[in-house]
Amino acid sequence: MKRLLRSIGVAAKGIAEVMAPDYCRLCGGHLAEGERLICNLCRIRLPATDFHLIPDNAMTVRFAGEPGIVRATALFHYVRDTPLALAIHDFKYNGVPSLALEFGREMGRRLLPTGFLSDVDLLMPVPVHFLKRMRRGYNQTDYLARGLSEISGIPVAGNLYAGRPHKTQTGRTLVQREANTAGVFAVRHPETLAGHHVLLIDDVCTTGSTLKACARALLAARPDLRCSIATLAAAPRL
């Protein structure tokens, strides 16, 4: 019964998505013609980091000493209770994957002209375990990657997967987070990744433990890989 109710809930969310009126998902204002999900004013007001223009940025520092990482960026500052934070919550938990898709496009529009994506061969979304994906109905990072792919033309690859579920990272210290994600991720068909430059995509980076675990899994499977990182937002370090 519980399962049935949950399925109905997921279906209802899907219908809500299709029936969504033309309002901005950040400010609630009406969208003008040509605007999609986020109005132009909200786009301009997004708290841009411009990290990708700064080689030694706050994201690069999080992955310093991590072998195989070429460059790293996060597009926006993550601050709790702001329109961006609420929008991320919406596309993660409230059945609005199209918003993740639109944010992926926004990442593409901002990264493409800067050269950050040059020589990147594949986009690789950070995976969630399939049980979580079943519950949520989708993985939001897939949608971010798809949006980024639409703008950049770089294909999305699904080689990375979460072999076992891991508990939430919220409320854990850096050391606990690294232990929590160790050995979670695995790579299927590593032979197809030979010599490639892979861009890992995630929604919010806090300590970087999840992304490090993904990069380590990829490099363990293919030591000739190069890995870069782009997340939609960066939370302040713990």
By CB under 5 A, residue 193 contacts Zn ion = no
By CB under 5 A, residue 84 contacts Zn ion = no
The footprint of Zn ion on this chain (CB under 5 A) covers a number of residues equal to 5
By CB under 5 A, residue 87 contacts Zn ion = no
Per CB under 5 A, which of residues 31..70 are in contact with Zn ion? 39, 42
Instruction: Report the nearest approach of Zn ion to the CB of residue 106 (Å).
Output: 13
By CB under 5 A, residue 72 contacts Zn ion = no
Please identify which residue in 22, 23, 24, 204 interacts with Zn ion, judged by CB under 5 A: 24
Instruction: Name the residue among 196, 106, 104 with its Cα closest to residue 146.
Output: 104
Q: Which residues contact 181 (CB under 8 A, 6 or more apart)?
A: 166, 169, 209, 210, 212, 213
- Cβ atoms within 10 Å, residue 79: 13
Give the angle subtended at the CA of 116 by the CAs of 114 and 121, to the nearest 5°. 135
How is residue 3 written in tokens?
């399962």
Please identify which residue in 8, 15, 27, 131 interacts with Zn ion, judged by CB under 5 A: 27
Instruction: Report the nearest approach of Zn ion to the CB of residue 38 (Å).
Output: 6
131's enclosing H/E stretch is: helix 130-136
Per CB under 5 A, which of residues 136..175 are in contact with Zn ion? none
Contact between 74 and 185 (Cβ < 8 Å): no
Q: Report the residue number, 26 or 205, with the smaller CB distance to Zn ion.
A: 26
Residues interacting with Zn ion, by CB under 5 A? Answer: 24, 26-27, 39, 42
